Structure 1
Amino acid sequence: MNPELNSLLQMIRHELEQDSSSIIYGVMQKGIDTYKNNHGQFVQLYEFLTICNGARFGSVDLWSYEDLKEHQYRLGQWIAESDEWLEIGQLLYEPIVMNRWTSEICILMDEIPLNESKKYKQLDDFLIHHIFGKGYQELVPGFECDEWYHFLVRLKLV
């Protein structure tokens, strides 16, 4: 795992635990100990799940290891070659998917074809810059009223 992301996750977990009202805007589950080896696929995702097995970061939900399977039903509606993608969470009910071969992240917006959707390089970068950084403003409409965004401001991450 990217050392910067690992540090961020530890700091964010600590800060969420210190704030009793954080359950409203942020929840990090305890990480998993083991997972099925998927032949090198989704390495960054599984490394993340060992630290945080499911989470809510404001308007973003990331599925737990146990819940991944049950959240794949929407892929066929959005993507023709759905076996190449894994839904790992959602942004305001829009699927966040990860490419099985390239680890590219994409948010599937309603009525926008996959090839026209915005893509993000890797999960670690997506988390660092768009969930825990200034990029959150690009993802979430009305971010100024979002309590996760205010949490990031308090932590001086944005």
Structure 2
Amino acid sequence: MNLELRQLIEELRAELADLPDSLAYAQFGEGAAIDALPAGLPADLRDLLLVADGLRAGRVELASSSTLAGIQYHLDYAPDFSSIPQDRAGWLVVGVRSDEPIFMDRGTGAIWYFPPNGTEWFMSDAFEELAPDVESFVDYYLLGPGYADLTPADDRWFAFLDEQGLLDEDDEDGS
């Protein structure tokens, strides 16, 4: 994980700790101990968990090392048109957006999801790459202007990002 993103996560964690109501909409876990991480995780996910063992930001939650195994059941419900049923071992559920899973392609590290299209995710006919890697996903979609693309309406996390000056597209690479 790049140093800039690591510092941003630490700064936001400290800022959230000073806000008494922040647990209602956000929580950044402390970094996991290296021996607590499940074996076989992709390197960039391991790096993230070492910095923040679980990230809840508004309607998006990335699993902690202790909850990661418990959300893999989403793989069982992936629509047949997606590549997940044919290569279940090649995918990892890394979190959720509202109650809908966020997937990582183990081979490329890319983050995928079923974009909203008026139907439940498991009956969807669209499955798209959201970010090329977990670092880009966290930087742009969780801690930046892309958050608005993932959520249907403004919420307290969106307001927090705005207060922190993190929603300005000009400061982001747009990945």
Q: TM-score, normalised by structure 1?
A: 0.90
Report 1:7-46 matches (<5 A). Answer: 7-34=7-34, 35-38=37-40, 41-46=41-46
Secondary structure in structure 2 of the residue aligned to 1:44:
helix
Partner residue of 2:93?
87
| Distance (whole Å) between structure 2 residues aligned to residue 103 and residue 2 of structure 1 | 16
Structure 1 runs (4+) deviating above 3 angstroms are none
From 117, 133, 139, the equivalent of 1:122 is 133
Aligned residues: 153
Closer/same/farther in 2, CA of residues 140 and 129 from structure 1, 3 Å limit: same
| Distance (whole Å) between structure 2 residues aligned to residue 88 and residue 108 of structure 1 | 14
| Distance (whole Å) between structure 2 residues aligned to residue 30 and residue 3 of structure 1 | 16
Report 1:3-152 matches (<5 A). Answer: 3-34=3-34, 35-38=37-40, 41-78=41-78, 79-80=84-85, 81-109=87-115, 110=121, 111-113=123-125, 116-142=127-153, 144=154, 146-152=155-161
Partner residue of 1:2?
2
Q: Which runs of 5+ in 2 are unaligned?
A: 79-83, 116-120, 168-175
Partner residue of 2:166?
157
For the aligned residues, what is the CA RMSD?
A: 1.5
| Distance (whole Å) between structure 2 residues aligned to residue 32 and residue 107 of structure 1 | 25
Secondary structure in structure 1 of the residue aligned to 2:56:
strand
Task: Give, as a single letter, the amino acid of the residue that structure 2 aligns with 1:47.
Answer: D
Q: Which runs of 5+ in 1 are unaligned?
A: none
Secondary structure in structure 2 of the residue aligned to 1:73:
helix
